Amino acid sequence: MNEDKRRQRTKMVTYPSGAVIPERDLGKSPVLECSHLGIEFGGLKAVEDFNLVLGRTEIAGLIGPNGAGKTTIFNLLTKVYQPTHGSVLIDGLDTQSMTVVDVSKAGVARTFQNIRLFGNMSVEDNVRIGLHNQIKYDMFTGIFRLPRYFSREKQQHEKAMELLDIFNMADLADAKAGSLPYGAQRRLEIVRALATNPKLLLLDEPAAGMNPHETEELMDNILRIRDSFQIAVLLIEHDMNLVMGICEGICVLNFGRVIAKGTPEEIQSNPVVIEAYLGKKKEAGQ
């Protein structure tokens, strides 16, 4: 995939409700609907009145200065935090009473800003753990090595290798996850998330610590994942090259509130966004 294709802009259309999604996702129910989502920590409103609708195969970006509440939103979507206001619908299902595990089963997978791999285990085992709810057998089958154990293990191995191949990591399958270089660990987290067979992939700063070459590769990979798995991607990123390059819709947060929403072009020319990012220096004393 090349630069030109990436730059090819998606046509965005507006729902009657006001939500904007890519034209190709029109007619399919949205994968994620947040309305008036908010959380307070002892009076501090970390996130307030957050509204977002994501199309089936949309790549969207969540940007904003440090401490704006981006990761908090991920934690709200995955129920690590219980929202104090508003609702989240995943594929039409209300997550009100769901746990973190339920959200994963409903089809949301995520990566973490500070990498959380199973460091003492092999790369392949990390992916196999991602397959936990995809290829199953029970404890007794595992302990007493019933025939099912061997067939399921084989399936897991094949699927894990297939997923690792997306990032050309199949030859690292036996390496210890904790000993991989930083960029490879970030990629492995994405593979592990994909193993859960998600409908929506949340990436928290996927390009952090990657060099420009690796970031370019990552951009191609995110697009390829979207196309081959037909899933939606919501990503938090500070690398504007990546955000502007692949995101179809962008949402800008500052102090827990959405200050702007739109296509990359609209965001780049939005005076409020420019102030939030560039004006920060001028108002640093505040």
Partner 1 sequence: MNAKKKRLIYNLSTYAIVVIAFAWCQFLLNNGGMTRSLKGQLVPICCWVIMAVSLNLVVGISGELSLGHAGFMSVGAFTGIILSGWLQNGMGMADETLRLVIAIAGGGLLAGIAGVMIGIPVLRLRGDYLAIVTLAFGEIIRNVMNCLYVSVEGRGLHIDFLNPSLPGKLLLNGPNGAVSVSKISTFTAGFILVMLSLFVVLNLTNSRSGRAIMAVRDARIAAESVGINTTKYRMMAFVISAVLAGMAGALYGLNYSTLVAGKFKFDQSINVLVFVVLGGIGNTMGAVVAAAALTILPELLREFSTYRMLVYAIVLIVVMLATNNPLLKQWFSNMTNRARGLVRRDKPAADGEGGNPA
112 is written with which tokens? 């973490």
Q: Is 254 among the residues that bind partner 1 (CB under 8 A)?
A: no
CB of 192 to partner 1, least distance (A): 6
Q: Considering the rule CB under 8 A, would residue 129 count as an interface residue with partner 1?
A: yes
The CB-of-135 to partner 1 minimum distance in angstroms stands at 8
What single-letter DSSP state applies at residue 60? Answer: E
In the sheet that holds 249-254, the strands lie side by side as 108-110, 200-204, 232-236, 59-63, 249-254, 257-262
Among 73, 76, 88, 109, binds partner 1 (CB under 8 A): 109
| Segment contacting partner 1 by CB under 8 A, of 6-14, 41-49, 96-104, 249-257 | 96-104
Task: Classify burial at 158, counting beta carbons within 10 Å of its beta carbon; exposed 0-12, middle 13-18, buried 19 or more.
Answer: exposed
Q: Which of 13, 81, 84, 112 binds partner 1 (CB under 8 A)?
A: 112
Q: Residues 166-205: x/- map of binding to partner 1 (CB under 8 A)?
A: -------xx-----------------xx-xx---------
What is the number of other CB atoms lying within 10 angstroms of the CB of residue 171?
10
Which residues, 6 or more positions from 224, have their beta carbon under 8 angstroms from its beta carbon?
A: 1, 166
Q: Is 8 helix (H, G, I), strand (E, B) or coil?
A: coil
Q: Which of 65, 91, 113, 121 binds partner 1 (CB under 8 A)?
A: 121
Closest distance between partner 1 and the C-beta of residue 198, in Å?
Answer: 10
Cβ neighbours of residue 86 closer than 8 Å, sequence gap 6 or more: 34, 35, 36, 37, 38, 49, 50
Q: Which of 156, 185, 215, 254 binds partner 1 (CB under 8 A)?
A: 156
Give the pair of three-digit tokens for residue 214: 């690796």
- Exposure on the CB side of residue 175, measured as CA atoms within 13 A: 14
Is residue 104 within the footprint of partner 1 (CB under 8 A)? yes
The one segment of 22-30, 81-89, 116-124, 221-229 that binds partner 1 by CB under 8 A: 116-124
Least distance between partner 1 and beta carbon 176 (Å): 9
Of 233 and 244, the one with the shorter C-beta distance to partner 1 is 233
| N-to-C CA span, the chain | 45
Nearer to partner 1, 96 or 120 (CB): 120
| 235, β-bridge pairs | 61, 203
* Residue with smaller CB distance to partner 1, 109 or 276: 109
Position 149 contacts partner 1 (CB under 8 A): yes
Tokens coding 171: 């030859």
User: Cα(118)–Cα(130) distance, rounded to whole angstroms?
Assistant: 11
- Binding-site ranges for partner 1 (CB under 8 A): 78, 80, 99-101, 104-105, 109-110, 112, 116-122, 124-125, 128-130, 132-133, 135-139, 141-145, 149, 152, 156, 173-174, 192-193, 195-196
